[in-house]
Each structure stands twice: as structure tokens, then as C-alpha cells.
Structure 1
Amino acid sequence: MSVSSASDAEGSPWPPPGPQVPRGEEESEPGEEKVCAVCGDRASGYHFHVMTCEGCKGFFRRSIIKGVHFACPFSRSCPVTKAKRRQCQACRLQKCFDVGMRKDMIMSEEALQQRRALRWRRRLAREQPAGLTAEQEELIALLTTAHQRNFDSSFSQFTDYWPAVRLCLLSPRPQSPSESGGPAARPQPDCLDEDVLPDVFSMLPHFADLSTFMIQQVISFAKEIPAFRSLPINDQISLLKGSALDIYQVQFNTVFNAETNAWECGQHCYTIEDGALVGFQQIYLEPLLKFHISLKKLQLHEAEYALLQAVLLFSRDDANLIQRDFIDQYQEKAALTLKSYIDHCHPKPEGRFLYAKLLLLLTELQTLKVEYTRQILHIEDLSSMTPLLTEIIS
């Protein structure tokens, strides 16, 4: 028996074709409750050729498969009702045959498993979202290539920078006996070991070069997008000034280690404590660390990082943009592609709310940018800022 035909045999909410169905049942009023032909309980559909309840369906199937021979202790005329159907199995089975249930329609266990597997595959097919369109796949390939070509995850090209500089604390050296009683010794420079006072490093020049290096990569990424290059130069500058710091953080998240809470940039490794050495306050550093931990936990694919950068790049915050409609359309296309990719490539239930979580994190990213700009402008040694970084945060 084929799987499809067996499906009709085991049970169906509709009567099988042919004259076997009682005429009275075919002509019953729509919505009228069906009753089991064996015990009178509420029927769930046609099973083995007869309208029955789930209980009698299961009883008939188990009895035939197991080949059990029941014996009636009375006169083989026991009443079979919903309340008394369990009292005599012999009379219940005979009633099943009397109303027309057919044992030749019972599926084997193997065929039943095949049917269940088929139903499961059909269900998955219905729930599976539609695949990516050719246009979306092309966009993903373009942005992923641009990201790979312009983001140096090993930071091997980060060579022209100020190293972290050790500050020298002025402290008096111990006086020798011969010096006692003489004039007070002048404090001498005393460079302490790293494990004694790690907070004596000046990280500001190094940070400025690191930020400039990251922003330069963002600019290179943007220039590889034909839609961006087609914009008027003033629009390009406006979009970069509005998004470079956000994209910088998204790219930086790809090298973030959530186990150590450190950004592993090749031979360089940064922690949130380094941000404090630059001069940032905890009101910025703590939400920044939380943002990177949350984003890393989403376990984004490389394509999703690239799409996210495009969504940020084409954010229309400047009212003076010339090609505002075009920018809106491209951002919408990137956002829809990102959602389609998530739906298609992230299994449920883990990926069910992934897109919504990303949108919430983007809102947090905007708040971080505002606080970052406020704090960086209040750091005293602005002379350490590079021209590019100064232009971006202005």
C-alpha cells in the first residue's frame, strides 16, 4: 500500500469516496456533531472506512496488529457505549466489524512511520521561509566582498601608530647616609613596572591612531559600494560622518572575545580598562562593553555583519542630503535582505527574534555614539586627535 493511500486508510477528516458512507451521514446538516458508529462518542473523522472516535480507532488498530483473541464472558451481546466500551473488548471489537471497520486498511508500523515523516517534511516546508532572491544574493556577495577586502581582522596593517607610552612618576629616591642632613633631594623620574601601576600608561595617542585606522577601513568599505559612489560627494561625506563610528563598533565586534571581554586585534589586545586610560568615563564604557557582549552573543554570520554595516551607512540623519529618497531605498533594501538572510539561514527557535534584537542593539549604538562624542570632546589633550578623527566627531 502506498503512503498516500495509507494516509486515507488510517484516518481522514473527510469520508472516502464511494457508496460505503451511510446516506444519512452524507446528508447531515453542516456543523452537526458527528458521533462514533461504535460507541456513540464524539467522532474525529473516518478511520478504517467508518466514522469513529479516536478511542475506537486506536482500539481497533491495536487489536488487529497484536492479533489478540478476546472472549466475551456473557452472551456476546454486551452494550458498547461511551461509558461501557471498556467492559467487554470482545463485543467492542465485534461491533467495530459490524459497523464496517476494515482491518485490510490498517497500515504497518513502517508505513505509519513513513507517513508521519512525510507529514513532518510537509510541515517544515510550509514553515520554511522563502529563499533569497537573486538580487539579494548579489547584494550579499557585494557587501561581504567589500567587508573582507577592507577590514583587516588581523590588524597586520596597523603599523603607523603611537605605542602605549609609559608615564614617569616623580618620586624622591631614598637618601644615602652621606646625603642625610644635606639639602632635600630633588625628585627623580621613576618608571614603575607594568605590574605595579598599570594605570600609568597614556593610551590617548594610540587610541587616536587606532580609531583613525578603523575609520579609514570604513571609508574604503563604503567606496566599494557602487550605490554609495554614485551619490554626490556632499552626500557621501554626510553619510560617513553620521555612520563611521557606528560601523567602526560593528567591525570591532568581529574581533571581540566574549569569554575574556577583550578585543583581540592581532598582536594588540584591548580591554575596557584601556578605555579608562584614554579618559573615558564608566557611563560610556559600561554600556559599550554590554553592547559588544550582546551583539557577540547573537553569533552573526559574516554576511550579516556586512549587511548591518550597509544599513548603518545609508542611515539618513542629515536633512540636507540631496539623494534622500535613493538613500532610503537602498537602506530598506539592505534591511530587508538582512531580515531575509536571518529567516533563511538561522534555524528556529534561536533565530526567531534575532532581527528584532539587532534593531534594539542599533538603538543602543546610537546612544553610545552620542555619549562617545560628548566625552571625547571633553578629553583634554585634543592635540592627540588626528585630523580625520577630529573631522568625524565634529
Structure 2
Amino acid sequence: MSSGSRELDDSGVEEGPREELEEDDEPKVCQVCGDTATGYHFNAMTCEGCKGFFRRAMKGTPNFRCAFQNKCIITKSNRRQCQSCRLRKCLSIGMLKELIMSDEAVEKRRILIRRKRMAEEPTVLTQEQEAIIQELLMAQAKTFDMTFSDFSQFRPLDRDAEYNKEASVSHQLSAEAERREERDVIENTIRQGSSFASVLQTEEAENSKQRKIKFTSLPHITDLSTYMIQNVISYAKLIKTFRALTIEDQISLLKGSAFEIVQMRFNMLFNEKTGIWECGSLKYCMNDAQRAGFQRHLLDPLMKFHYTLRRLHLHEEEYVLMQAISLFSPDRPGVTQHKVIDELQEIFALTLKTYISVKRSGPEKQLLFPKIMACLTEMRTMNEEHTKQVLQIQDIQPEISPLILEIVSRQC
């Protein structure tokens, strides 16, 4: 064995107090075998080989026997030949078993060393992560025109000034009262001796009156939502890992995430100063959604969500990674490949976290990732309420498109 080689400790981690040799010091020799010493190990100046030997010997119950007279002279070249005399030499120079760290302590120290090295090394996006981001950006560019120039086949937005905000809610909340009123009308008509035909005519008149209570912006909002969902479907199909899933899981993931991804895309167009969504030449406010039949216990948290997310001032890369995390959610109803999708979601989440670490600066970057994840959690709650309200609106005014109904059918 050359003078520069070492017999490594099986832990690979320094144990017990040791005094490092300074570069200017005279070379020290191992007090056990005479090889070059690397410092104090377990209370004695030794080389790495004798340090590791002592540790391994003391971890068990040594039962070494000398083949000669227990008087072997231990040197660098023969130190492996007689374990008994080598251990006796270790003990004679003062090496102490009590200074050997337990396996648990070794593992803890190894973890600390690894973390320290990682902290010292600059975080960088891997080639795989860079490729993921580029794929998502390309899919976004092909399926999301922020000018809405290709959104042309839609029914006009009717912002009827006579729209009765109370009517959109009262139809659902007072249905039972209306039915009682209809029964009273019928009973009064019968008591007055009118014919059965008159009764039917009266009932039809009441029904006609109710049909006049319309969600005036529902046709346009339905067309807009259908257009956005179609683009989300096209977006997902451009992602290689999504196409690799079974058709059944693709459908389940799209049904579960469509509303959330649409909201993330709308957020990129949200003006936090005016509270207006600026979709090219089209402008929308929250009242448009209310005129489509949606109620305040969805719209209020939805508006708060848009302000919260927009104020994070996300990069486009962060938006697309956020969309991918939402899309690849393993707990969506109907999903079967849970493990595969969970691993994919973890890859997107780690890529987002690394991107933030590399591209962001300032103390706020430490909180950006958890804030984004909190927004994703908030959308899950709103997603469920959105489904309920869409089905309520369809019962009152059946103008919801088949695609939207298919998306919300997961909770029917």
C-alpha cells in the first residue's frame, strides 16, 4: 500500500473529537501502524485505516486471537495480518470505545453534512426541469391567446339593466313558496267554479311569468366557458406525460382540473387595480357572472382568490407549472393510476420550487411556493361549489353547454 493511500472508515463520517492537522505542521504518524496520521481519532493520533479498524472492532464483541505470541509489531504493511495485536496497540495508545458514535448519531451527522453541502452549492434547474418548463410554455402558447382574437363564435353579452339580482337567487331559495302560491291560485279558481281548462291556463300563465326571469348573461358566459375548457383540453393533450396516461385517467384529470386551470388563465388577464378581466377587446366584471346565475357564496371567495393570486405577480413559468400541478392531481374522482400521477405531480411541484429558488430574489421568495400551494387548495373548495351552482342554474335555465355539463358530471 502506497504512503498516500488510506483504509477508509465504513461510515465515511468522522466520529468523536479530532484535531485537524494544519498544512504548515510537520507530518504526523499513526501511533498504531506508523502510516500518515490524519488527526486525533477516539483520543489518539491515528491514520484513517486504524480509526476505521478500531470503530469496527468496538462495535461488536471482538474475539481476536494472535497466531504467534501476542507480540506482533504493527506496521503499515502488515497491520491487516494480526487483528488481535492491532487492537491491543489501539487500546495501549489510549483509544476509547466511549468516543465512538452510535449508528443513529452517525446517520444524523451524515444528514447534517449533506444538508450543509447542498446549502453551499448553488441551486440550479436541471436539464430535465428546463425541458418540462419549455414544454408547458409551448403548450400554453398554442392553446391560450391572451387577445382572444379567435373567440368569435359567441352569443352577445347581455348586460340587461333591468336584470333583477334578487330574482336570480329567489328562484332557488323560494321555490317552495312559489309552489304554495300556485296551489292557492288553483284552489281559488276551482272554488270560484271555473273550468279545469281555466285552471290550466292560470298555471301556464304563472309558468310563463317565471320563464321571463332570465339569467341575461348566461348564453355568453356559457360560450366563453366552453371556449376556455376546449383550450384547456388542447393544452393537456400537448403534454407528453399526460398523453401517456390511460384515456380514462385523462378524462378524470381534465374533469377535475378544468375549472381551476380556466381560473388560473383568467388570472393572467385580471387587472388588480380595476377588478376587471381584460380579455383583448372583451372586458368582464364579477357582475357578469352574477347575471349568469352564480351566487355570492362562490363569487366572493372567487374574487378574493383572483386578487390574492394576481398580487403574487407570478411569472408565466410559474403559472404553467401551477396549472400542471392542478392537472396532475392523483386524488381526482375516477383516477386509477394514483402512484404514477402522484409522482408526476411531485416532479412539477419540485420544478416550481426550484424555479422560484433560482429565478426569484429577496425574502419574499421563501414564502412564494407555499402561497401558490395555498391558492391551489383554495381552488379545490371553489371547484366543488362551482359544480353545485352550475347544476342549479341548468335546472332553472337549461342553456349550459354539453361540454360544461360533462365536466361537472363527476359530482352528479
TM-score by length of 1: 0.59
Indicate if the aligned counterparts of 1:166 and 1:201 stay in contact, CA closer than 8 A.
no
User: In structure 1, what is the equivalent of residue 237 of structure 2?
Assistant: 223
* Cα distance in 2 between the residues matched to 1:135 and 1:168: 54
Partner of 2:142: 149
Instruction: Measure the CA separation in 2 of the matches of 1:320 and 1:168.
Output: 43
Residues 1:201 and 1:149: Cα distance change in structure 2 (over 3 Å)? same
Match of 2:398 among 372, 380, 383: 383
- Cα deviation for residue 321 of structure 1 reads 2.6
One-letter code aligned to 1:286: D
Secondary structure of the residue aligned to 1:165 is coil
Of 326, 341, 350, the residue aligned with 2:340 is 326
Q: Deviations over 1:352-389 (max 9, x none)?
A: 10001111111111111111111121124442111101
In 2: Cα distance, 1:245 partner to 1:168 partner: 28
Q: Aligned residues, how many? A: 248
Quick one: structure 1 residues 201 and 133, their matched pair in 2 at CA, closer, same or farther if it must change by over 3 Å? same
User: What does 1:33-112 align with in structure 2 at a 5 Å threshold?
Assistant: none
1:323 Cα deviation from its structure 2 partner: 2.3
CA 1:243–1:268 in 2, change beyond 3 Å: closer, same or farther? same
2:256 and 2:333 in contact (8 A); partners too? no
Aligned equivalent of 2:170? none
User: Within 1, Cα distance between the matches of 2:366 and 2:121?
Assistant: 12
CA distance in 2, matches of 1:203, 1:291: 22
Structure-2 separation of matches of 1:276 and 1:316: 32
Which consecutive segments of 4 or more residues in structure 1 shift more than 4 A?
15-18, 125-129, 166-170
CA contact (8 A) 2:215 2:397 kept: no
Q: How does 1:212-291 map to 2 (within 5 A)?
A: 212-291=226-305
CA contact (8 A) 2:159 2:217 kept: no
Query: What is the RMSD of the two structures over their aligned residues, measured on CA atoms?
Result: 2.6
Q: Which amino acid aligns with 2:133?
A: I
1:351 to 360, 365, 382: 365
Higher helix share: 2
- Report what 1:163 is aligned to: 156
Do the aligned partners of residues 318 and 358 (structure 1) sit closer, same or farther apart at CA in structure 2, a change above 3 Å counting? closer
Go from structure 1 to structure 2 and tell me whether the alpha carbon gap of 1:258 and 1:319 turns closer, same or farther (over 3 Å shift).
closer
Distance in structure 2 (CA, Å) of the matches to 1:143 and 1:204: 32
TM-score (norm 2): 0.56
8 Å CA contact retained: 2:226, 2:401: yes
- Matched to 1:367, the amino acid is T
Q: Give the share of equivalent positions with the same residue, in percent.
A: 46
Give the corresponding residue for 1:34: none
Contact kept, 8 Å, 1:165 with 1:201, in 2: the verdict is no
Q: 1:257 to 1:166 in 2, by over 3 A?
A: closer
Are the aligned partners of 2:356 and 2:365 in contact in 1 as well (CA < 8 Å)?
Answer: yes
How many angstroms apart in 1 are the aligned matches of 2:325 and 2:389? Answer: 26
2:124 to 120, 131, 151: 131
What does the per-residue CA deviation read over 1:52-71, in whole Å, with 9 as the maximum and x for residues that have no partner? xxxxxxxxxxxxxxxxxxxx
- Amino acid corresponding to residue 351 of structure 1 in structure 2: K
Q: CA–CA distance in 2 between the matches of 1:312 and 1:16?
A: 55
Match in the other structure for 2:312: 298
Is the 8 Å Cα contact of residues 158 and 217 (structure 2) preserved in structure 1? yes
Partner Cα separation in structure 1 for residue 312 and residue 320 of structure 2: 15
Give structure 1 stretches of 5+ with no counterpart.
Answer: 1-14, 19-124, 171-198
Question: Which of residues 325, 329, 336 in structure 2 aligns to 1:311?
Answer: 325
In 2, Cα distance between the equivalents of 1:234 and 1:221? 17
